[in-house]
Amino acid sequence: MSLEGKRPFKFWIIIGMSFLLMLAYLLATAPEPLVGSEEVKFAMSTEEALTLLAHENDVTRTLYTRAIVGKGKEQGLQFSEDWQHQEVIAGPLPALFLRGVADYLTSSDVPLGLYLGSDFPIESSNRFQGKQAEEFKKMRADGKPKIFRDEVLGETIGMYPDLATAKACVSCHNDHENTTKSDWVLGDLMGATTWSYPGDSVTTDEFLSMLLAYRSGVAEVWERYLEEVEQLEEEARPAVGEKWPSSGFNLPNASVFQDSVASQSSPYLVNELTKLIDSN
Ligand code: HEC
């Protein structure tokens, strides 16, 4: 299967339809707003919701790193940690793509937090502190996600392994002038994406708002990237549309990029939501 996840059109129609059906079912069975002493029916624990989001984020991050940064560089596209500076015309590094989504979430109405940290960070503000540093140590030992309550903030925190899934992760981090570790290898645990959300369970509506907020953040960062690209001289500007850097000097437009993420993450979402419905 290619990076962009090409499958027969029919396959995605079926997956798409089942996902929509599932959402329709969930919405139809969503709890009524609180009336008097009526009980609110929660659809899932916050832990389950964060785990679904972490998967969506993994798919997005891996697609961006491999199919856009990795393949794009081979075509001559530039990516920089200074991509936001006015004089730099480049795409965001993978970590900064994620930071852009995190900033979008902070400014949105959805109280969902996202942070990418490590015990050996390039950027010192990405170093885990306190309880998160302790939990990350445990993740170093067993490689498993860590979910816990922050009693002070009343939030559920979910930390998910961030692995060196592409050669580019390793070479860029090892060679970076501010690196704090220069012997990363493919497959290493490089850090963790940390999510936070108030409370310990969410309704279906809340989960959908979380997922949609994340996707809107991705769309917004993608649009900002395409705005950078538009500033390039014509001969240095890739064609933006249906095609990917794997097939030439191209960049997918926002909807093509997002369709690819959705087609890769939907089977998992449908599966997990089915299990949650079954167990409720
Ligand atoms: C071309 C360079 C480059 C590539 C490729 C790259 N990173 Fe990074 N990464 C950086 C830089 C620079 C930062 C610090 C950005 C900031 O926060 O200012 C960073 C930040 C991070 C952080 C947060 C901790 C830290 O080091 O500051 C993690 C974890 C991380 N990257 C993992 C990865 C993984 C996993 C991949 C591959 C999927 C990857 N990176 C690909 C350059 C890169």
Q: Amino acid identity, residue 99?
A: R
* 85-140 pLDDT tens trace: 988 999 999 999 999 999 999 999 999 999 999 999 999 999 999 999 999 999 99
Expressed in angstroms and rounded, the spacing between residue 252 Cα and the centre of ligand 1 is: 23
- Determine the residue of 169, 171, 181 to mutate for testing ligand 1's pocket, defined as the one with the most ligand atoms within 8 A of the Cβ atom: 169
* Residue 29 pLDDT exceeds 70: no
Structure tokens at 240: 């933006």
* Residue range 194-206: mean pLDDT, rounded: 94
Residue nearest to atom 23 of ligand 1 (CA): 117
Q: Which of 158, 178, 167 is nearest to 94 (CA)?
A: 167
Q: Given CA atoms 13, 16, 18, 23 in this order, what sign does their dihedral have?
A: negative
Expressed in angstroms and rounded, the spacing between residue 204 Cα and the centre of ligand 1 is: 33
pLDDT band per the 50, 70, 90 thresholds, residue 37: very low
pLDDT band per the 50, 70, 90 thresholds, residue 278: confident
- Determine the residue of 84, 122, 163 to mutate for testing ligand 1's pocket, defined as the one with the most ligand atoms within 8 A of the Cβ atom: 122
In this prediction, residue 193 carries a pLDDT of 97
Looking at every residue in the chain, the average pLDDT score rounds to 89
Decide which of 211 and 167 is more confident.
211
- Cβ-Cβ contacts under 8 Å for 233 (sequence gap 6 or more): none
Q: Which of 184, 94, 196 is nearest to 148 (CA)?
A: 196
Cα distance between residue 8 and residue 172, in whole Å: 35
* Residue range 189-214: mean pLDDT, rounded: 95
pLDDT above 70 covers what percent of the chain? Answer: 85
Neighbouring C-beta atoms of residue 7, cutoff 10 Å: 12
pLDDT band per the 50, 70, 90 thresholds, residue 16: low
